[in-house]
Amino acid sequence: MDLQIKNKNALITGGSRGLGKAAALHLAQEGVNVSICGRSTEDLESTAKEIKNYDVDVYTFICDVSDLDSLAQMHNSAVEAMGDIDILVNNVGGTKSREGLEGTSMDDFKGTFDLNVFSAFELMKLVIPGMKNKQWGRIVNISSIWGKEYGGNISYMTTKSALIAATKHAARDLAKNGITINSIAPGSILHAGGSWEKMITENTEEFVQDFIAQNLPMGKFGWPESLGTLVAYLCSDGAGLINGSCVVIDGGQSYSV
């Protein structure tokens, strides 16, 4: 399917591996020029090499998005390299603490907001003027099923829920400008270097199989290519009426409707 987004410019945070890499590759398959940021030069260079196979422009930037002061410089560098950003994928996410309420410090709680919410908020503000000038733009924020229902730790769950809410509010504000803003709520998707790979390596085979049996109706972990396909579709004109939505991609794992 031709999604009719060839020659658009995309910026993907955490685009060097995992879900961000899948998003970058699927957009590149559609002819989208791609800027990716990450913290590992090696991962960025490896992913950029794959993206170049699709004969698009690709740019890489070292950036820790939780350092909010660095975002404007990174955005400006991307714009200088490729032009205004048409597509923004806020993919970076994680947690500064894996504890509950009593075990989570205020600094770690705030740090998780910097990582999962405030970085996305700031980048949305940075790209929107260019999108408004063109009267076209696509923003996709990667949340989690644990932003929709109970799961994970208190920092992660709270911030991913906040990201879904910010997405909905911003989408209504900017709909008249030809800009759509949606979030995606992945379930347990396995990829190299991700938290689910770590869970598998740190636990017994019996523990892992029990987790799969209890939580994953398909009998296996999800795969990042499905999310990449969804990101590309949400960025197309064909998905122009999807706005302010949170699209779950979890193989039936979540319990909410």
Residue 113 has pLDDT above 80, yes or no: yes
Q: Is the pLDDT of residue 198 over 80?
A: yes
CA separation, residue 182 to residues 10, 119, 173, 241 (Å): 15, 16, 13, 11
Domain ranges of the chain: 9-187+223-248, 192-221
Average pLDDT over residues 228-246: 97
Q: Which entry of 54, 59, 150, 156 is annotated as an active-site residue?
A: 156
- Whether the predicted pLDDT of 157 surpasses 80: yes
Answering whether pTM is above 0.85, one says yes
156 part of the active site: yes
- Please state which CATH number belongs to domain 9-187+223-248: 3.40.50.720
Sheet with 87-90, side-by-side order of all strands: 58-62, 33-38, 9-13, 87-90, 137-142, 179-186, 246-249
* Geometric angle at alpha carbon 132, from 126 and 136, rounded to 5°: 110
